[in-house]
Every structure is written in C-alpha cells, then in structure tokens.
Chains A and B, each alone.
Chain A
Amino acid sequence: MNEPRIRFENAAKSYGSLTVLDNPETACNEKVMNEPMVRFENVTKRYGALTVLDELNLDIARNEKVCIIGPSGSGKTTVLRMLMTLEQIQGGVIWVDGEPLTHMQKNGHLVPASDRHLRRVRSKIGMVFQHFNLFPHMTALQNCMEAPVSVLGLPKKQAEERAAELLDMVGLSDKRNHFPIQLSGGQKQRVAIARALAMRPKVMLFDEVTSALDPELIGEVLNVIRKLGAEHDLTMLMVTHQMGFAKEFSDRVCFFYGGKIVEQGPPDQLLGNPQNERTRQFLSAVLEAR
C-alpha cells in the first residue's frame, strides 16, 4: 500500500531552455495528486461590519483553470487578494499545496504564520493585476529580473536569461530594454505576466487583467494566457468579464454573488444553462451589454 502509484524518476520537462520540471526524484502518490492545490476552508473576510466573503469553501485542483465571475462587490477580486496575502482574513484557513498560508501548524494547532513561513508559502503564488503595477523606473527586462535576483538569489546572468526567455514567450523580445511608459497596455500586461512567471509559481492569479485595456489589445493578452495554460503545469485562477474566454479556457466557472458562490460548474453548463436565478440575471445583463 505504501508503494506509490505514480513515480517520477529523474523526470525533466523543458520548453527550449526554460526548465519547468528539473529531475524531481519525488514520488507522487495518489494522495498528493488528489490534494487540492488551493483550498479555502470557511474563509471569512470583513471590513468593519461589512462582510465581504462569508465562510467561503472552495477547492482548486492541481492544474485546474478556474474562472470567477460575478457583479462588482460580490467578493470575487477579494478571493484572489486574500490568496496573495494582500488582504487579511478574519476567519477560516487558506491551504496552498497542502500547507496553511497565513497560519502554521504548531503542536497540532494552527497559529498565525511567521514572516518566514508566509514568504515561503507565498512564493508558490504569482499574480497579475488589472493595472499592471509594473515598476516604472525599470525596463521590461529589469522588471522581470528584480525578484529572481533579490528573492531567489539567482545570479544576474541567469536571471537575465530567464527574463529574456519569458519576454520571448510573451512575444516581446524586441521590447526588453523599453520602459513601461514606452509600452502599450497590452504589452505592459504581457511584461507583467512574464514578471510573475519569472518566480516559477505553481499558482497564477489573474485579476481582471484585460479590464484596463483597449478592446483591440485584449486578444494579445488572452493569447498569452491561453498559451500558458496549454504549455505549462499551472493552476490558474482568474477573475474576468470575458465570458467567451472563460467558456473556452476554463475547467470550471464560479459565479459569486453577495460574498458567496451561488453557482459553479463546467463552463458550458454554467454559462449555457445556468440553474440559479441570479446567475441567469447576471449573464443576460452581461450579454445584453455587448
């Protein structure tokens, strides 16, 4: 029974010289594979008396692509921000890759996480923001090198190679030495994606990444995300208003309303044949706006 069902022996996976899996001699048994990558367990978020999220329970499997939709104020962005530790939670536990995120285990109890623990678990998560948040005083290349050098301790040369490779992947190899102000919105967002990927996260969060873009620039960003999903083993969690993209890209769509998941399911089912009244109202309002 202790014999693992699946064993990776010296497995390696590369895309060009970008190594995704580097000889992990770890045996992956069924339990680990079945364990969710992210688990929200009774997570509650409050601002003063206002409850934004009420005892949220949500599991996201390894490599699963989940889209979160819902009206503004429904708490959908808060889900991502809590996972990125940009918001404190008032109740419950968030688990990432089998470990509590803002807590740590001590004598069988959960206590608030130390800074070290928080940073270690957080390193598994990357995030792309609606307003890019690129560092304006650094070139595209420097934006992608900063964290690998200072956090992972990568030598400059290696970090530069990695950054160049990622910029190549998002189709911006000719913009390496451009500053954010010299780039279009779509280009900025692609640099932001490359910057997050440079840290080799296991989970990628996309917070309305196309909402601040001109309509004709949305496609180039979505294409990059599509490519990421197809070529990399990444768990992706995405807040979006692009219903068409959600339908084609995701494994599951969650509809948030009033701080709760009102309905969730495969995109065809949820977007094509919603069961809940609120979901129907929301979808018809969104489709009408087109």
Chain B
Amino acid sequence: MSKWDWSYVWEALPYLYRGAIVTVQATVLSFAIALVLGLIIALIRQSPNRYVSTAMTEVVEFIRSTPLLLQVFFVYFVGPQFGILIPAWTAGISMLGIHYAAYCSEVYRAGILAVEEGQWEACTALNLSRIRTWRTIILPQAIPPIVPALGNYFVGMFKETPILAAIAILEMLQQAKIFGANNYRYTEAIVMVGFFFLVFSLAASAIVQSVSIWLNRRYRLQ
C-alpha cells in the first residue's frame, strides 16, 4: 500500500464537493449575519443613552468571552430542554454569525471612532438629521479603512466552520472524516481539505483586498 494513492483522491471528491458547498454556504451566510448585526451592535453602542450602550457592551463582552463551541452546544442541545427546537443548520449559522458579529462590532467601532470629531460638528452646524449624518457622512468614512480587518474575520470564520461538525452538520472536514472511516484511509481526503481551505483563504484575502482598494478609491480616502 503506497503512502499516496490517486484513486482515493477521485473517490473522495464527491464527498468533499458536497462538504465544500456546505462550508462555503455556512461561511457566506454567517458572515452576512456578522456584518449586518455587527454594525447594528456598534451603532447601539454609540447610543447617547448610557444604559443602552453599557448593556450592549456587556453583551458583546459576554459573547466574546465564552467559546463558540459552547454557544453552539447551548443553542442546539440545551435549547430543546426549554422547548426551543432549532434545526442544526439554523442554530449553527446563527451562532457563528452572532459570535463573529461581536468581533465585527469592535472593528466597526474602531472605524467610527476614527472619524474626526469635526465631521460630527459640521453635520450639527449644517443641521443634518441623525440618520442622514450616519448614513452619508460618518459610515462612508468609517467603513472603507476597516475592510481589511473585517476581511480577516471573514477568513478566520471560514477556518472555524469545522466546529459545525459538532452538531452534525456535514461540512467539508466532517465529510473527509466520514470518507476516511468508511475506507480506512484518511491521508488523501484530509490533505485535500487542507488544500481547499488554503486556496479558498487566499482567494478570499485577494477579494477583500480589491474591495478595500475599490472602496477607498470610491470615497477618496487614503
């Protein structure tokens, strides 16, 4: 038996293909949740009401200080004990999204705080409404510089999707494991998964970088 056998590579492909689709779907959906929810959290944290902003800060701190795996288990296994039945896919995607929303909110916050105080003052002097100030003045300046940092979390989250295997979601690594167990042969499948993660991460980084360059040019920020 040789150390590397190409026939196993071809045999494993359909498994890995199914897994890869699940992995990519999970990443894109969860990250969409993280992006939107993270922004909402960051905006709530800027609330002039101190109770509201402090409460939000505590929630973010709580989410960041407990393991993602525990959060996923909590929703999937503990939820049903209280009559809350959430399908594995929904539970996995939303917890991954919420967990990363907490991280992304910190990034958004850094971007928002980096906008000069004078921009706010100009908005007040011109009598712009609060919503208009955020939408057309503050966020277009706050977001382009933080795209690379958000992109890091995108790639980071992608690499954490195997955690979904713990609640029986057949993502790519789990598929490789099943294939390995069925054939008593792990080498090819595991290496291929690693290779896919590498390629996808590099591609994602490149996309993030071009988005960043485009946004900074679009809004004339250096």
Chain A residues in the interface with B (C-beta under 8 A)? 84-86, 119, 122-123, 125-127, 129, 131-137, 146-147, 150-151, 179, 181, 195-196, 199
Contact = CB atoms under 8 A, between A and B. Distances in A.
A129 B220 contact: no
A132 B222 CA distance: 18
Contact of A122 (B116, B127, B132, B221): B127
Contact of B119 (A123, A135, A199): A135
B141 A137 contact: yes
B70 interface: no
Given A136-B221, A137-B141, A181-B220, A126 B125 contact: yes
Interface string B206-222: 00000000000001111
A151 B127 contact: yes
B54 interface: no
Contacts of B116: 133
Closest 9 CB pairs of A and B: A133-B118, A147-B126, A137-B219, A133-B122, A127-B125, A179-B220, A150-B132, A151-B127, A137-B140
Interface string B179-222: 00000000000000000000000000000000000000001111
B124 interface: yes
B137 interface: yes
Interface residues of B, number: 20
Contacts of B136: 146, 150
Contacts of B141: 135-137
B58 interface: no
Interface string B114-133: 00101101101111110010
Given A129-B121, A151-B127, 13 more contacts: A84-B125, A126-B125, A133-B116, A133-B118, A133-B121, A134-B122, A135-B141, A136-B221, A146-B136, A146-B137, A196-B125, A196-B126, A199-B127
Nearest to A151: B127
A181 B219 CA distance: 11
Contact of A129 (B118, B129, B132): B118
A213 to B, nearest CB: 16
Given A133-B118, A137-B219, A137-B220, A151 B125 contact: no
Contacts of B126: 146-147, 151, 195-196, 199
Contacts of B219: 136-137
Contacts of A122: 124, 127
Contacts of A179: 220
A132 B127 CA distance: 16
A16 to B, nearest CB: 23
A181 B118 contact: no
B118 A119 contact: no
B118 to A, nearest CB: 4
A185 B127 CA distance: 24
Contact of B127 (A135, A147, A181, A195): A147
Contact of B128 (A125, A151, A196): A151
A150 B129 CA distance: 8
12 contacts: A84-B124, A119-B127, A135-B119, A136-B219, A137-B141, A137-B220, A147-B126, A150-B128, A151-B126, A151-B128, A151-B129, A151-B132
A132 B121 CA distance: 11
Nearest to A139: B220
A255 to B, nearest CB: 26
Q: Which of B122, B140, B221 has the most CB of A within 10 A?
A: B122
A51 B137 CA distance: 33
Contacts of A151: 126-129, 132
Nearest to A127: B125
A76 B220 CA distance: 34
A66 B108 CA distance: 43
A150 B136 CA distance: 10
Interface in B169-183: none
Given A137-B219, A137-B220, A179-B220, A123 B127 contact: yes
B119 A133 contact: yes
B80 to A, nearest CB: 47
Contacts of A134: 122
Contacts of B128: 146-147, 150-151
